[in-house]
Structure 1
Amino acid sequence: MRTLDIKLFRDLVRLWAQALAIALVIAGGVSTVVLAVGSLRSLEETRIAYYERHQFADVFALVRRAPKTLLTQIAEIPGVAAVQGRIAKLALLDIPQFSEPATGLFISLPEDRQPALNRLYIRLG
């Protein structure tokens, strides 16, 4: 061993508590990063599964008035898998738990079936 190696070893033996504390801090940081990456991947996979299960649309376009023939023109665009037109209207809602009126978005639904895009998930009722 060279002289500097011997000195380094002696310093490490003398400062073993500080070296252990530094090692524990590094281990804690590494484990935090590993847990964060795992959580991020889990959230991404859950989001992707939810979007696929409920056919969540990738693109939304709001227009004031548009003919229904526009839907067929949009469906002919390469890469478009599904197109659906709906009527949407904003409204103020008076909710007792809120001090100010809330804004609600009412969206039309097909009468006899689930919508092709943005399917409903009824949690209660």
Structure 2
Amino acid sequence: MVRNYICKREKYNKEDTENAIKAVRVVAWAIKKLLVSLKYKKKAARRNTALSANQEQELEECLLVISRWGFGLTRDETIHVVADFAASLNVNPFKAQPSKDWLRGFLKRRPRLTTEQGSLNS
């Protein structure tokens, strides 16, 4: 670095800094007030799910019954079961079968369900 370095930014005094902080607080308060007046909900908007809530509930119950019978399903097996389930209802929102992203969202919405990492052969 050069010995005689000259700083390119201005030096701010304490009064300017305090005025800037006050201005930011006023603007932030105005935005909060506006959002409250518009009845803004903090919850993010979601897309519609591929299956209805009742269909997802029925699917969840089926998957829980399968696991109670002792057949733990991997992710791929779960995707195939969901594809068969959608085909049996004559509802096919998926191109061929659900994607792994859909499965991740489904498992997030249904926390009682889990999938095995791999199946053990005994």
Both proteins in one fold, TM over 0.5? no
Relative to the length of structure 2, the TM-score reads 0.30
Q: Which has the higher contact order (CA 8 A, sep 6+)?
A: 2
Q: Select the structure that is richer in helix.
A: 2
Larger radius of gyration: 1
